[in-house]
A and B are shown apart, each in its own frame.
Chain A
Amino acid sequence: MYFDNSATTKIDPQVLQTYQTVCEKVWGNPSSLHNLGEHAFNLLEQARKQVADLIGRKQDEIFFTSGGTESDNWAIKGTAIEKHIYGKHLITSSVEHPAVINTMRQLEKLGFEVTYLPVDKEGRVSCEDLRKSIRKDTILVSIMAVNNEVGSIQPIDEIAEVLKDYPKIHFHVDAVQAVGKGLGKMLKNERIDLMSFSGHKFHAPRGIGFMYKKEGRMIAPLLTGGGQEKNLRSGTENLPAIAAMAKALRLVVENEDEYSKRQQKIKEKIYDHVEKFDKAVIFSGRDKNFAPHVLCFAIKGVRGETIVHAFEDNDIYISTTSACSSKKHTVSSTLRSIGIDDGIATSAVRVSLDENNTLEEAEEFNNVFDELYEKFRMINS
């Protein structure tokens, strides 16, 4: 049972088929003038159009990258390089993914100033805080759509309203965790200038992602070279992965409503069960302010790793808060930011779902949870 879909998802067989077919049959370089190149170019552009249509944007506004981390880096550093003459102040939240946070830290070393907005108990930034922290020299606001550790949905529409009064500031949204989770409308907000996506979070291969960049917004390229992707992201296009990702996106977005509702039901089933135990603490909400696929909780007195391995012994795969930090034995930065005591935060684990999970699996999870809870209670008492 795989409950670690926020770390990565299993590649869809149809998507893999596309990957393989493109490798074998459409292997020309899209930049070549001859037929093979032309054919590859057409596939590339149709994939781009499909991606654009699926997220409700224009074909010209989609740029393929190597994934979420590159997209985040590009949005932030690209803005910093392009606009540093107008200002050197950036705003983000304290619960962003390391791809954003560490990029910000790197920029700080280069003389940029960064404001890390605090979050409330649910992990959400406040628009008031945002408005107060905007300065004359602010060039970028970067806020994630869905938090990867506890699943809180940030008030993107409200932030967009605030930023309408500051039309020159770039607004970047890290949407890596938000694809196929019933948030399509929010991600179509017109004020968003830049958006990062990662293929392997929705059943595409690793090493592929894309960025939405609104028409007319300028950011500097990070990768210079042969001038691919309108001279903004050089490097021969990874066409098999691009086509595969376009397909994966279609498969998940076409059924988004059904899929996200199903995940919500599974999450609620586990939530309602875990909630009953007095040593269990749940950090995610079950309401509409949280994504339907993430449930973060702790069992007081038991280390997160222990819980992960105990579930693993029962063939259930979950993780400590985020895959990126789980091997470093560090306390989740999101939990710390929402004011959770380190003692409890070290006990946190994350269940993250996708459309292939079922209510029966939730049932089984709950049974295993009962057993483990009982076992840990005996040991700790």
Chain B
Amino acid sequence: MQYTEIMVRYGELSTKGKNRRNFIDRLGFNVRSAMHDFPKLVVKAHRDRMHIYLNGEDSDKVIERLKQVFGIQNFSPSVRVERDVEAVKEKAVEMINEKFFDGMTFKVNTRRSDHHFVYDTNELNEMIGGYVLQNVPGLKVKMKNPDITLRVEVRCDGIYLSHEKIQGAGGLPVGTAGRAMLMLSGGIDSPVAGYLAMKRGVDIEMVHFFSPPYTSEQALNKAKELTAKLTPYVGRIQFIEVPFTEIQETVKHDVPSGYLMTIQRRFMLRLTEALAKKRGGLAIFNGEALGQVASQTLESMAAINDVTTMPVLRPVVSMDKNEIIKIAQKIDTFDLSIMPFEDCCTVFAPPAPKTKPKIDRARYYESRLDVDGLIQRALDGVKVTNIQIGDSFLNDSEQAFSELL
């Protein structure tokens, strides 16, 4: 069914006191940018509800998008019909028929915001309910917990019919919790960490390290593609690529192999912190899960974390791999993540990394390096890409071949 309007109910925002207006404005902004390619659609974010007027845009597609926007508890697509009881009856039957399986129960729930309308709510309930019952064979009425509740709302500009509540993504509108950097590798965990950060309202920017020629263009594109997968929750995400070759080569050359990984990570963290400070980020997110690999022991985390005082947040730290994979599948990043491209974490992985590196040893080995120079040169080579919903990087974009195929 083609709907004409969607009514959105807010989630946790209702409890946010004085900040409420900010939250609602932000949500309105996010919904608009998530729908940027539906030009006719109009979003009105009111204090208690949001109304989305479709003006002819495809409701199925809009609904799919809307399901991914954080800060929405649930929403109901509705159809506006003329203020004419006959028209309402017909539409009601059409609506119920679309959903109906034999043996289902239903009720009509009418509200009037326009109290001048000729019929009152009870009359309307009865008229519409009776008509639907006659015209949908097998349907039964049930007042408590029916399978379908047909909501009829009489307003001045028309009568609105809706019959379902679609679950939203929950969480908080992205941006309301401030900005942070996400260290995005290309593996399974970091996109999940990014998703969870966004769910709590964090506006994340992706920081990705790449080391040509040790890592391929494809690995970089894969990270961008993963970012594109996360854009539906916000509309767009900044992707920051940081050249890491020089640092990796230097570290490989000058540091004992047991500390290779630790020192490399310390550099990554320093760079991310620098970028955060420059771009107004308040924290760093990553996809570390405790005990998964050598760099993810508590000792390792301590040795790496030593370079910054900025909060380093690890949303998946206590999850099992299977739990992480489940979320990755839900947000459709899993298949991408397991594509076999070398990333900069695997290229110079030492055969036997220290699982219990010592902070002072790490500091000592680093003292031989020109840390500031290396960091500065990497920062100078940073490139930022604005990634939007629908962008595609991995497959030479479909347009490239659209003429051929």
Contacts and interface: CB of A to CB of B under 8 A. Distances in A.
Q: Do A and B come from one complex?
A: yes
Q: Which size class do A's interface residues fall under?
A: 10 to 19
Contacts of B404: 18, 21-22, 26, 43, 243, 247
A26 to B, nearest CB: 8
Interface in B363-405: 395-396, 398, 400-401, 403-405
B405 A45 contact: no
Contact of A38 (B218, B398, B401, B403): B218
A265 interface: no
Contact of A46 (B216, B217, B218, B401): B401
A349 B316 CA distance: 71
Interface string A37-52: 0110011011100100
B395 A246 contact: no
A42 B401 contact: yes
Contacts of B401: 42-43, 46-47, 243
Interface residues of B, number: 11
B401 to A, nearest CB: 5
Contacts of A247: 404-405
Contacts of B400: 42
Contacts of B218: 38
A250 interface: yes
A44 to B, nearest CB: 10
Contact of B405 (A35, A39, A50): A50
Contacts of B396: 39, 42-43, 46
Nearest to A246: B405
Interface string A1-45: 000000000000000001001100010000001010011001101
Contacts of A246: 405
Interface string B305-318: 00000000000000
A250 B405 contact: yes
A15 to B, nearest CB: 10
Interface of A: 18, 21-22, 26, 33, 35, 38-39, 42-43, 45-47, 50, 243, 246-247, 250
22 contacts: A18-B404, A21-B403, A22-B404, A26-B404, A33-B216, A35-B217, A38-B217, A38-B218, A42-B395, A42-B400, A43-B396, A43-B401, A43-B404, A46-B395, A46-B398, A46-B401, A47-B405, A243-B401, A243-B404, A247-B404, A247-B405, A250-B405
Interface of B: 216-218, 395-396, 398, 400-401, 403-405
